[in-house]
Structure 1
């Protein structure tokens, strides 16, 4: 049974569609699914995170197929980086699902709000001032693998705990470490499959996944993800990214209050 009235369900369907577009265009769309589930449904924090991660797995599959077809995941560097991030991200995701059990619904909202403000500010800053690479890290070296493993572990933990997709955090982090934007988007989609897949497993064992809601929201978010991949290769996503950043900051502040 769906625990929401019809008008709320329609709003969730629309949010899922737009979130799918954002996921494969700028990497930050999935977070709106988490926000909508938290604000519009009576789900617990664990159920919000668990249900959202089911959808992120689907988006990740679409994103990986698309970016593999366009070449971003074909090179040896892309494969090496994806392997390191996915492996370490799984460990973080499992840790995040365990930590979520100690987080109240109110604290979950505060943590989500802090993440939204930080992410929104970073997206807006990147568009307005640019986000230059701080370092060029080679994933094929031992040092590079260690750096990216630490990044993957941290990203996986946060994603698993708060119920956000890996791309919203991974794309800016990878760009800072010298990874090209489209490659970062493709790798983040692959990482999301592993992070969200294992997070779903953890939350399912806690009986914290709304299968009914996930099933209904699956189609619109997949359609949006396909559309987003097409947009990413045909349109400069700078304006969309700036708009997302501007929306995320006040939304995050609202959740923290």
Structure 2
């Protein structure tokens, strides 16, 4: 007999929704914040922001503003903003190997950020961080390589929080949307800073340990990089790398 608990109706329903439908569903929900123990925190409060207003262009694209940067213990985290700084703040987090620019494609931004679309840039202030280790944010390949400080998802989320809270002065955001690795970050946001947002939209991710092909792909990448470093070190020392 299967003794596993039945999944809730909410979980079963959410899995039937497309990512964009789920995003729209959460965005138009009540304006209450998520807090510990499932309690709500009332209406969201938007802090002061900095930067330049990005006016929507014709069609379904917007003009981004880059250069938003915050300093953390593991380096700098940079972000790109789209829309009116006086609009409701929305955070979009990219996936592994991506960057803020990868979320500004016609297939994503072109379906969400344009006039009359779910995240109309005339109404929302969209912040897209370059996650630590990606894009224009600090990463090992900038020069430190193996001497770069060790970091994990918690550090990456904390860097995003400092970018929003300390640099942009945002006390609260409407929603945090994450895709793949960004979806994993969204789950962590909900644990570390549950009252900071009204809603979370973790796409293509689950709140569980990495497994299967996803784990194997990342392990393969790590081992490949490790072997390349070892080979280059052997060559630089004048060793016969093929014999080691």
Task: Provide TM-score, normalisation by structure 1.
Answer: 0.28
- Which structure shows the bigger proportion of residues in helix conformation? 1
- Which structure shows the bigger proportion of residues in strand conformation? 2
Higher relative contact order (CA 8 A, sep 6+): 1
